[in-house]
Structure 1
């Protein structure tokens, strides 16, 4: 093959525009002994492609995996959980425990705290609700747009094409 044709094929190959037949022509050219000196740099690349084509995967692929579950570890974990439960369990004393966070012994004290919390939440909620009052004006404006639909319907009736 003429050297100009090989150079054109190489340019097309680098741009990704060659067909399989043109690539085979390039592989055949670079596998031969008569390669132009300025194209010698492409020879190892095409030699690699030819060698890579002959490689095959020969290992077996396992389709099922073995599940080797050791039940001894479940019993060890269960014993550890039970031991921690016995160790960390404190006896419940009749009456009230003052050391627990967030608990109250006196029901009236608990009611007062809940009332304070709900009053604070209510005041913040009312502040937020008052700032959204302008949405009513938007709703009033969109309701007046209904008149535009009536005008459009009448114009369609007038200019109806038969």
Structure 2
């Protein structure tokens, strides 16, 4: 990611929160901590800075301005991980098996799908998708963002149709 993009993300509190959620879910997959409450507690104690610094991560810590969103996404994923992984698998192109995805891409998709499934009215699903596409730029500089965009748009359309059928 180029420096100007990095500075823009640093000014967007929800984006910073989503980046932290992706990092926590990545950490979960690595088997470092599987219990949601312990993962969140560890992240808040060891990875979160109480102070916001405009351009740097101090001592490897970041600032999470929206702890409730962070907690909802991480807890939501850990508690519903088999369901969320099934949703992601069903949205992948046939030539892309789930395990072939890079672990950070899996973490981005897991966080995004979890947030899309939350019962929040705000923000709109399109905003959530755009946010996670921006988050993907923080971790990659290739075609991964295109893949993430396609999967999340496909999923959002499916979820919208399911909601309309329930109504």
Q: TM-score range by the shorter chain?
A: under 0.3
TM-score by length of 2: 0.21
Q: Which has the higher contact order (CA 8 A, sep 6+)?
A: 2
Q: Name the one with the larger helix percent.
A: 2
